[in-house]
Chains A and B, each alone.
Chain A
Amino acid sequence: MKRRWAGAIVAVVFPLVPWSQSRIDTDVGEFRAQQEVLYLWSGDHVKRLFPGFEGLAADVYWLRTVQYFGGTRLYARDKSFELLRPLIEITTTLDPRLEIAYRYGAVFLSERPPIGAGRPREGIEVLSRGAARNPDSWRLRQELGFFHFLYLHDAHRAAAVLEEASTIPGAAFWLRTFAASLLAQGGDREASRRMWRQMFEQAEAGILKENARLQLRILDARDAADDLTAAVAEFERRHGRRPERLDELVRGGVWRGPLADTAGVPFHYDGQTGRVTVATESPLWRPR
């Protein structure tokens, strides 16, 4: 008889559990366990706490890092990047071979706000440390090279790093040619596109892949803006004056594509200079 009572109580009361849990999560936030990181704990301290279980602890810290910064909240504005460096440091001290942690930290330290912390030197430092600890990893060096180019605009250093990476056994065959082309061409955008494309292909589904995809869209938007600028010049050539607005290009027969970038934000047209650029309010805008 008591079994039936118990079943009834469970059925009636248990739903309160997930319900109150969701209220707690809303009020307190899902990621409460992070603040302790700021306090005193360096990677070495933490490592001493988990003798024998460093790998597992690394996983847990990695998980918390990812939860805090990521998933689909690529555009979220309320992230605190103060925790990123310590979290990455702890994770990689616990497990120096967790390559994805270095890569992750580098991306989010280097990228401009609001996506990242806007501190590319720190990001590169993280990658350097990763490369130093993993002498066999050509991929980390590849990204280190890419980042030198993409964020610090240092083609020479980038080429040097890629050269070095190409000497590692098992390295991708195109690293050397990449390095060479970096020095040969001046074209920023082409090289950037190739790098981001490479990283896009190499990344597993997840936040790093999404970021690479975003970077490619940014480049595409710039290309589209340049094409529009050329169309404006063409219009001027044909009609003897600059268009007042961009939709005149369509009516004037010099342009057949969309007038907004892939984020749906219309391009900015400066009538005075005739230049078309990505609008500053677009998520695809980046300062040069």
Chain B
Amino acid sequence: MGRGLSRVAAVAANTFRETVRERVLYNLVFFAILMTASGLLLGQLSIRQDEKILIDIGLGAIDLFGTLIAVFIGVGLVSKEIERRSLYPLLAKPLSRGELFLGKFAGLVFTLLVNVAVMMAGLYATLAATGRGVEPRLLAAAYATLLGLVLVVAIAMLFSTVTSSVLASVLSVGVVVAGRFSDVVRHMGEVLPGAPRWLSEVLYAVIPNFQNFDFKDRVAYGDPVPASVLAWVTVYAAAYVTVVLAVGLASFQSRDFQ
């Protein structure tokens, strides 16, 4: 078991190294530019609105950049390996497919963690530099966003085990977008009178509800995020990620690499 974990760790470390070498973390540079520009340009508006806009932009960018990374790198983790066949020499080693899969997942999650952490530091720095308060509750929003990103990675990896990288990317983006409109899915009977109720219920349960991870507005308005809600959101994320990874793993395990 210890050997297995150290192999998973080796894969995770290499995956992190890959994302760094593939210049994924350069998105942080864009973020820094965005933050600086926003901080400077918004000096004219009133203080309260200023802060909200800054937080909105910062948290929004963390969400958006994180999602893009999670989808496109996540899909590539498996698809690229299969398409380029860099998988082949590795699978002949005493490395099981499951260890490879989980190691890659862990590596990308770690990358996202670093990404979100650096961005939050940048956001706080901008807030402080423009004379606003440093609010700990922003971390709650960042944490929730990160949970959502972990789920996106799992979904992207699942799709990439069953189909090509292009299709997997499209499907992943589709699921993420649908998940952000979960309220529409749930109440689709209002705009589509013909839609049967059981269909919206089933779709609502199955499509991951990405609105669960969105506390940006709350924290931007200064409302607290209760710990109990964060706990439930964590449970939701953990459960969903487990399910998706299990299916992805099973799919990856049984594949033939022709």
The answer to whether A and B touch directly, with their CB atoms under 8 angstroms apart, is yes
Residues of A within 8 A of B (CB): 2-3, 5-7, 9-10, 13-14, 16-18, 20-21, 23-24, 27-28, 30-33, 35-36, 39-40, 59-60, 62-64, 66-67, 204
Interface positions, chain B 188-220, Cβ under 8 Å from A, are: 188, 190-191, 193, 205, 209, 211-212, 214, 217-218
Q: Are A33 and B205 in touch, CB under 8 angstroms?
A: no
Closest chain A CB from B112 CB (angstroms): 21
A62 to B232, CA, bound (A): 29
A66 to B184, CA, bound (A): 11
Nearest 10 pairs of A and B residues by beta carbon: A6-B250, A16-B239, A20-B236, A9-B246, A20-B235, A2-B253, A6-B246, A23-B232, A27-B229, A18-B205
B243 at the A/B interface (Cβ < 8 Å)?
Answer: yes
* Option from A3, A23, A35, A66 in Cβ contact (under 8 Å) with B250: A3
A204 to B236, CA, bound (A): 38
Q: Which residues of A contact B205 (CB under 8 A)?
A: 17-18, 21
Q: Which residues of B contact A27 (CB under 8 A)?
A: 226, 228-229, 232
A30 to B183, CA, bound (A): 8
Q: Are B187 and A14 in touch, CB under 8 angstroms?
A: no
Interface positions, chain B 220-248, Cβ under 8 Å from A, are: 221, 226, 228-229, 232-233, 235-236, 238-240, 242-243, 246-247
Q: Are A63 and B254 in touch, CB under 8 angstroms?
A: no
Q: Which residues of B contact A20 (CB under 8 A)?
A: 232-233, 235-236, 239
Closest chain A CB from B4 CB (angstroms): 15
Q: A64's closest neighbor in chain B, by CB?
A: B183
Q: Which residues of A contact B181 (CB under 8 A)?
A: 60
Output the residue of A10, A40, A63 with the most chain B CB within 10 A: A63
Q: Are B183 and A24 in touch, CB under 8 angstroms?
A: no
Q: Which residues of A contact B218 (CB under 8 A)?
A: 32, 35
Q: Are B217 and A16 in touch, CB under 8 angstroms?
A: no
Residues of B within 8 A of A (CB): 49, 52, 98, 181, 183-184, 186-188, 190-191, 193, 205, 209, 211-212, 214, 217-218, 221, 226, 228-229, 232-233, 235-236, 238-240, 242-243, 246-247, 249-250, 253-254
Q: Which residues of A contact B191 (CB under 8 A)?
A: 59, 62-63
Majority secondary structure of chain B interface residues (helix, strand, loop or mixed): helix
Q: A32's closest neighbor in chain B, by CB?
A: B211
Output the residue of A2, A30, A39, A204 with the most chain B CB within 10 A: A2
Q: Are A13 and B236 in touch, CB under 8 angstroms?
A: no
Q: Are A28 and B250 in touch, CB under 8 angstroms?
A: no
Closest chain A CB from B21 CB (angstroms): 31
* Option from B187, B190, B214, B247 in Cβ contact (under 8 Å) with A6: B247
Q: B181's closest neighbor in chain A, by CB?
A: A60
Q: B98's closest neighbor in chain A, by CB?
A: A2
Closest chain B CB from A59 CB (angstroms): 5
Can you sample 7 A-B contacts with CB below 8 Å? A5-B246, A5-B250, A17-B239, A20-B232, A63-B190, A67-B187, A204-B193
Output the residue of B183, B188, B218, B249 with the most chain A CB within 10 A: B183
Closest chain B CB from A145 CB (angstroms): 28
Further pairs besides A21-B209, A24-B232, A63-B191: 5, Cβ < 8 Å: A6-B246, A6-B250, A24-B212, A27-B232, A63-B183
Q: Which residues of B contact A7 (CB under 8 A)?
A: 250
Closest chain A CB from B169 CB (angstroms): 21
A39 to B55, CA, bound (A): 14
* Option from A5, A14, A33, A62 in Cβ contact (under 8 Å) with B239: A14
Q: B248's closest neighbor in chain A, by CB?
A: A6
Closest chain B CB from A70 CB (angstroms): 9
Q: Are A36 and B217 in touch, CB under 8 angstroms?
A: yes
A14 to B221, CA, bound (A): 34
Closest chain A CB from B127 CB (angstroms): 18
A77 to B189, CA, bound (A): 24
A246 to B29, CA, bound (A): 81
A204 to B191, CA, bound (A): 13
Q: A22's closest neighbor in chain B, by CB?
A: B232
Q: Which residues of B contact A40 (CB under 8 A)?
A: 49
Closest chain B CB from A169 CB (angstroms): 28
